[in-house]
Amino acid sequence: MKRNVPLLLAIIAGFVMIVAFFIPYTVSWGEDVSIWFDILASIAFILGGGNLLKVHLKKVSDQAKGWGYSIITIISFLAMLIIGLGKLGVNPNPQFPGHGHWAGQYNEIGSPFYWLFESVFKPLQATIFAMLAFYVASAAFRAFRAKNMEAILLLATAFFILLGRTAAGVFLTDFIPEESGYSGLRLENITVFIMDVFNTAGHRAIMIGVALGTASVSLKILLGVDRSYLGSGEG
């Protein structure tokens, strides 16, 4: 019963969303199911936060490797949670003067939450992505070794794209007049052609594959074939 009821609810909700998409009369049914989803998503956020605290508190308690970073994670999590939920430093909303700072926006410009997000979170996020660039460059170096025809094509494409995006690439083919019939041989135009034609075609092929995969997995869930989301317990 513990598995059959959630399975039945998932199947009903899935078919309701499909029917609501094609039949205008049932649009309100889909909106109701979307509200249920928002409620479940909110509960999932609470469970996720609780699990984060549980994992890192255990790491600190056991003094496992990297437990110092767990302390920073816990402090940061609680600080953002308290400042955001408590709306600390938020100005009152003029439309609701009797509710004080509780009626204001938690992320208004100048608020502590806004400052932490803009001055702490965003720079840290940019730092992480900047560090990832080195890993991408390392992986690209290994992938671009011309061992076969596919690798040669990948290497040539990357060469034209990277060179065409720089001032050096524009300078190298600057002798070709922009108004002539050979303007397509300019490196910046070759780059645009590759991105608009080959890259777009590959992207569409990948998206079609993703769509087909999503449809097949969705059908397996709706028909009760895939029950992995119910967990491994029996009952």
Give the mean model confidence (pLDDT) for residues 11-39.
Answer: 88
Look at residue 129 and tell me if it is in a domain.
no
Sorting pLDDT into bands at 50, 70 and 90, what band is 146? low
DSSP code at position 117: I
If one compares 204 and 157, the residue with the highest pLDDT of the two is 204
How confident is the prediction for the chain on average, in pLDDT? 84
**pTM of the complete model:** 0.60
Q: What is the pLDDT of residue 235?
A: 46
Q: How far apart are CA 165 and CA 171, in angstroms?
A: 11
Look at residue 50 and tell me if it is in a domain.
no
Residues 172-199: tens digit of each pLDDT: 888 888 777 778 888 888 888 899 998 8
Domain count, the chain: 1
Q: What is the pLDDT of residue 153?
A: 80
Residues 115-137: tens digit of each pLDDT: 999 999 899 999 998 888 788 77
Look at residue 112 and tell me if it is in a domain.
no
* 3-class DSSP state of 111: coil
Look at residue 66 and tell me if it is in a domain.
no
Most confident of 1-5, 78-82, 169-173, 208-212: 208-212
| Full DSSP string of 147-207 | SSHHHHHHHHHHHHHHHHTSHHHHHHTTTS-TTSTTGGGSHHHHHHHIIIIIIHHHHHHHH
Most confident of 128-132, 148-152, 228-232: 128-132
> Ramachandran region of residue 201, left (φ > 0), alpha (ψ -120 to 50) or beta?
alpha
Look at residue 5 and tell me if it is in a domain.
no
Range of the domain at 193: 144-235
The answer to whether the beta carbons of residues 169 and 187 sit under 8 Å apart is yes
